[in-house]
């Protein structure tokens, strides 16, 4: 059969662990896919790169359940490709290294389905880089062997790993995948083959992620150290002289937030930026999207304001979302930015200003403190409010304080509601479940509405008795006020209302308690 339609399967490596280890090609293909089929160990954030309407199929392990059988996955790939779909088959690490990617490629070839393979950073490479273990080293290790420790004990024939043979190799680094449940057996076999018991060895679990943990020792004492540290899969076992002195070049485990669990509470979209900042500093991030912001335009009001746009003096934005939604709607009507006339722009928050500036428009008024009240003060200070017409773009939270203050300064204010902020329900969310069971070192609030939502679902987010109680962090005045109102006085507050300042406050606070 020939590939008569344009369906194709991309076998794509997702890299091991950190989102930053995806290739550009992988990201491009995910963004263009009609169907995404992905595994356990693929960074879940990558699913957000899909376009709306992409069918997303998870075929990995679920708690207590088995994985989808391999034949079923292969049949699924063939079926979608033959229906003309662009399919991305996303696998952890590299698709051709212990990931059954080879089998999938063969099935596709046999079925006459077009396919492409995109390599990925395999776990051994990620683990070496993030744990201070160079996999080869001049005069010390001149070869690298990737091995699987997972073998079917019922299997007969020639596919068993020859551990004793590998134990006899000199100047070699061994990197063993899927070997944790048989660690003692594997090490004993390697020693039986001639591997010296004092050879340096290490285990790196969850490599390159905030929850990475590692232990090192010798081939003789590694099992005891692993048991003591309670390390388990997914992990890479390294054996060889290159493990020696890894502390000296271990940069990752020395990052300021390494080993810290931090819960973040913005919307799914907004969380990404904060997640990235925290992960770059080594943290393990738990995303609890406590709020959801959706466009909700009062069509009638919007048309009325647009018709009179030339008569307004100021337009006021309190969030980047407001800016985005305003321009989406405005450009639908006008298709020409000049229709804004001489409207002047005021806003709070750097992110809001950036959103306005992205349209090459100047922000003429922005207070240092990102509250509605200080925005009103700053506008009053311009001396331009008397009888001025002002549009205040709002969500369903009406910004009463701001509007009242402007009106008291004799401005004529029209509210323009463009979006609504809603509380989400996290009672069935797996990340929320992880939070409930294990807690976190800190939880960050970047808005009053997230604080409100947390309070509203405090029953379903209640921590288990032995979970770690998180320190509470607030981005600024209003958020702090709301937290205090609900009996959650913050342990640290950002010096100014920005994500960077919030992260700095977190680091300082954790350092002080360390």
Short-list 513, 450, 503, 496, CA closest to 473: 503
Q: Is-catalytic flag, 61?
A: yes
Residue nearest to ligand SAH (CB): 93
User: Which C-beta is closer to ligand SAH: that of 234 or that of 476?
Assistant: 234
Closer residue to ligand SAH in complex, CB, 178/406: 178
Helices 320-334 & 350-357, crossing angle to 10 degrees? 20
Closest C-alpha to 317, from 445, 424, 419:
419
Closest C-alpha to 236, from 152, 173, 286, 151: 173
Cα pseudo-dihedral 161, 162, 168, 170, rounded to 10: -40
SS3 labels along 79-95: HHHHCCCEEEEEECECC
441 part of the active site: no
Catalytic residue among 34, 39, 94, 441: 39
> Smaller CB distance to ligand SAH: residue 234 or 322?
234
User: Residue 391's beta-bridge partner residues?
Assistant: 315, 414
Nearest in space to 231 (alpha carbons), one of 246, 216, 249:
216
Q: Which position among 61, 170, 295, 489 bears the catalytic label?
A: 61
Output the smallest distance, CB 129 to ligand SAH, in A: 11
Residue number, 130 or 454, with CB nearest to ligand SAH? 130
Nearer to ligand SAH, 179 or 322 (CB): 179
Number of helical (H) and strand (E) elements in the chain, helices listed first: 17, 22
Q: How far is the CB of 161 from ligand SAH (least distance, A)?
A: 14
Q: Which residues bind to ligand SAH, rule: CB under 6 A?
A: 16-17, 41, 91-94, 97-99, 122-123, 127, 177-178, 204, 206-208, 233-236
* Residue of 221, 236, 213 lying closest to 147 (CA atoms): 236
- For the CB of residue 379, give the shortest distance to ligand SAH in the complex, in Å: 51
From the CB of 151, what's the least distance to ligand SAH, in Å?
13
Q: Cβ neighbours of residue 398 under 8 Å, at least 6 residues apart?
A: 415, 417
Nearest approach in angstroms of CB 441 to ligand SAH is 21
Q: Catalytic residue numbers? A: 39, 61
């Amino acid at each position: 059969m020939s590939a008569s339609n344009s369906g194709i399967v991309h076998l794509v490596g997702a890299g091991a662990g950190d989102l930053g280890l995806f290739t550009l090609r992988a990201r491009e293909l995910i963004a263009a896919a009609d169907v995404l089929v992905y595994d356990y160990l693929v960074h879940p954030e990558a699913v957000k790169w899909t376009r709306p309407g992409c069918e997303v199929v998870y075929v990995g392990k679920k708690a207590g359940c088995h994985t989808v059988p391999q034949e079923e996955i292969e049949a699924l790939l063939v079926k979608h490709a033959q229906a003309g779909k662009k399919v991305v088959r996303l696998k952890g690490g590299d698709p051709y290294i212990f990931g059954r990617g080879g089998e999938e490629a063969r099935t596709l070839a046999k079925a006459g389905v077009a396919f492409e393979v995109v390599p990925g950073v395999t776990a051994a490479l990620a683990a070496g880089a993030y744990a201070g273990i160079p996999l080869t080293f001049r005069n010390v290790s001149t070869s690298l062997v990737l091995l699987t420790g997972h073998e079917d004990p019922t299997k007969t024939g020639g596919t068993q790993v020859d551990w004793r043979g590998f134990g006899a190799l000199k100047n070699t680094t061994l990197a063993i995948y899927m070997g944790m449940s048989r660690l003692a057996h594997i090490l004993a076999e390697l020693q039986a083959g001639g591997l010296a018991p004092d050879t340096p060895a290490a285990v790196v679990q969850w490599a390159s992620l905030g929850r990475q943990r590692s232990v090192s020792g010798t081939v003789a004492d590694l099992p005891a150290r692993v048991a003591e540290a309670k390390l388990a899969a997914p992990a890479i076992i390294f054996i060889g002289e290159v493990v020696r002195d890894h502390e000296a070049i271990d940069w990752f485990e020395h990052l300021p937030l390494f080993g810290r669990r931090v819960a973040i509470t913005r919307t799914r979209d907004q969380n990404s930026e904060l997640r990235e900042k925290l992960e770059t500093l080594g943290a393990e991030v738990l995303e609890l999207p406590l709020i959801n912001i959706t466009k909700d335009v009062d069509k009638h009001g919007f048309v009325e304001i647009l018709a009179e746009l030339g008569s307004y003096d100021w337009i006021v934005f309190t969030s980047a979302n407001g800016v985005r939604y305003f321009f989406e709607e405005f450009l639908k009507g006008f298709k020409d930015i000049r229709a804004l006339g001489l409207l002047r722009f005021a806003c709070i928050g750097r992110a809001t200003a950036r959103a306005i500036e992205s349209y090459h428009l100047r922000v003429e008024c922005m207070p240092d403190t990102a509250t509605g009240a200080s925005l009103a003060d700053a506008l009053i200070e311009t001396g331009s409010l008397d009888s001025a017409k002002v549009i205040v773009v709002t969500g369903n939270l009406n910004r009463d304080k701001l509007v009242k203050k402007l009106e008291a300064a004799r401005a004529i204010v029209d509210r323009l509601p463009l979006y609504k902020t809603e509380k989400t329900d996290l009672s069935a969310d797996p990340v929320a479940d992880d939070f409930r069971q294990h807690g976190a070192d800190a939880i960050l609030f970047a808005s009053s509405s997230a604080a409100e939502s947390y309070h509203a679902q405090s029953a379903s987010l209640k921590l288990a008795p032995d979970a770690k109680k998180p320190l509470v962090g607030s981005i600024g005045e209003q958020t702090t006020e709301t937290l205090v109102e609900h009996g959650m006085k913050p342990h640290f507050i950002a010096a100014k209302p920005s994500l960077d300042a919030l992260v700095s406050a977190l680091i300082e606070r954790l350092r002080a308690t360390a």
